Structure 1
Amino acid sequence: MHTEQDPAEARLWGGTTLSARREARRVALLEAALDLIGEAGAGAVTMRAVCRKAGLTDRYFYESFSDRDALLDALYRQVAAEFLDPMTAFADADDPDRIRALAEALIDAVLNDPRKSRLFLVEPYSSTGLGQTSIAVMPSFTRLIQDHLFTHIQDPVKRRVAALTMAAGNAGMLAAWLNGTLRASRAQLVDHVVETITAYRTMYRG
């Protein structure tokens, strides 16, 4: 079915279309929110602060988001997908080398951008409105563990319990590392994740 394109959407201004400019503004607002989170936490994310950081007016904020909670929700889901994608690439194997590759992908995702890691692992525990978003998103991670790493566990209850406790334990460990209450090197974090995955994978083999 052919759909006519809105002439306003296709019109060029400064070499870009309206839709491209709108998307660029949306990206700038999300990036500004990430910077604020990195500097002072999600509590610092307000419409005015984000607009000031991005160099945009509130008109353009409301072009993309209904309020700051909608912005944080969109940002959290985007960051969660960025964490999930590299983990998925290594998850479907019963191989020590691939388990280590999975652990390295997870730890490197946390280390690569502290702003995103703080948003994903630390901020949902504060009163920022992210708790419900986190509850909605986290099942994607436990399903990955259940459906790829723990397929050999026949009892579905045991499989889910193992996935939930492993995901929660590692998330808590990484949150402690990010907030400074845990001092550990990258190698130590990777080794721990490898050992945790291996322990849970062997727990119910008998």
Structure 2
Amino acid sequence: MTQPTRPFQGESAASRISARQKTLLDTAFAMASEVGWSALSIHQLCLEAGLNKRYFYESFKNLDELAAALVNDLAEQLIETGQAAALSGLQQGLDTSALARHALRATIGWLVDDPRRTKMLFSVASENPQALHHRQEVIRKLAQTLSVFSIEYHQADEPHAIAKVGSALLIGGTIEIVVSWLDGYLPLSLDELVEDVACFWVAVGDSAIELTRKRQGME
């Protein structure tokens, strides 16, 4: 459909479109967290958001596209949270163990402060084909981000496959642990959860470094 371009009451057309898009994403987040994507309709969504259907179609082709956009938006927030925590930890001069706890406290905290975020990213997303695809992309992107950081942190002279393997293992495992904790299957406090996960992250990182050195020595 044709996008409006003229300002209205001092607000640009692009700003109004962005605001309506955010309203739709926020409303979809709340509704899908409650009833799931399969029970959601464009009519219900627009009714709850207080917007005409035409405003839905100015931003999204269908609910699948909206679901994918929502998963992407949450993933970016999670990655930004982790990167900001890692940077602040480095600036504080934290050692490896403390840095892992610091970064994980921020990222796991972000996921559990509003459990709907975890549910939307890693549970509800499986109900929607495009959201499921983007869920898989989210996990790969998180692992890639961790891999790049670990290579830079340990000042590796070149990327090593073990960094990718270890990152995928840590990201996938941590997601399952957080989901299990939120579901009540792990009788731990949040501080204990972060401490335990951080210990495994450091152990895997140390093992990866040792294995890399052994492989280099064999070449």
Compute the TM-score of the two structures, normalised by the length of structure 1.
0.84
Equivalenced residue count is 197
**Amino acid of the residue matched to residue 24 of structure 2?**
L
The answer on 1:158 being equivalent to 2:173 is no
Which residue pairs with 1:25 in the alignment? 20
**Amino acid of the residue matched to residue 107 of structure 2?**
L
Which residue pairs with 1:97 in the alignment? 98
**Amino acid of the residue matched to residue 203 of structure 2?**
A
* Residues 1-206 of structure 1 aligned to structure 2 (within 5 Å): 9-13=5-9, 15-91=10-86, 95-124=96-125, 126-129=126-129, 130-149=131-150, 152=154, 156-206=160-210
Please give the alpha-carbon distance, in whole angstroms, between the structure 2 residues aligned to 1:205 and 1:188.
Answer: 26
Please give the alpha-carbon distance, in whole angstroms, between the structure 2 residues aligned to 1:178 and 1:50.
Answer: 27
Compute the TM-score of the two structures, normalised by the length of structure 2.
0.80
Which residue pairs with 2:213 in the alignment? none
Q: Residues 175 and 41 of structure 1: is their aligned pair in 2 closer, same or farther, counting only changes over 3 Å?
A: farther
Aligned to 1:96, the other structure's residue is in SS state helix
Q: Deviations over 1:123-166 (max 9, x none)?
A: 23x33222211222322211122122355477822222111111
**Amino acid of the residue matched to residue 44 of structure 1?**
A
Which residue pairs with 1:5 in the alignment? none
Aligned to 1:64, the other structure's residue is in SS state coil
Instruction: Report if the CA contact (8 A) 1:118-1:178 is conserved.
Output: no
CA-based RMSD of the aligned residues comes to: 2.2
Q: Residues 36 and 181 of structure 1: is their aligned pair in 2 closer, same or farther, counting only changes over 3 Å?
A: farther
Q: Deviations over 1:34-84 (max 9, x none)?
A: 111232233333212211210112111111100001001111000000000
Please give the alpha-carbon distance, in whole angstroms, between the structure 1 residues aligned to 2:63 and 2:183.
Answer: 24
Instruction: Report if the CA contact (8 A) 2:150-2:163 is conserved.
Output: no
Aligned to 1:9, the other structure's residue is in SS state coil
Q: Residues 155 and 19 of structure 1: is their aligned pair in 2 closer, same or farther, counting only changes over 3 Å?
A: closer
Aligned to 1:203, the other structure's residue is in SS state helix
Q: Residues 173 and 42 of structure 1: is their aligned pair in 2 closer, same or farther, counting only changes over 3 Å?
A: farther
Please give the alpha-carbon distance, in whole angstroms, between the structure 1 residues aligned to 2:192 and 2:37.
Answer: 29
Structure 2: gaps spanning 5 or more residues = 211-219
Aligned to 2:51, the other structure's residue is in SS state coil
Aligned to 2:58, the other structure's residue is in SS state helix
Structure 1: gaps spanning 5 or more residues = 1-7
Shift of 1:118: 1.1
Identity among equivalent positions (%) equals: 25
Instruction: Report if the CA contact (8 A) 1:121-1:174 is conserved.
Output: no
**Amino acid of the residue matched to residue 32 of structure 1?**
T
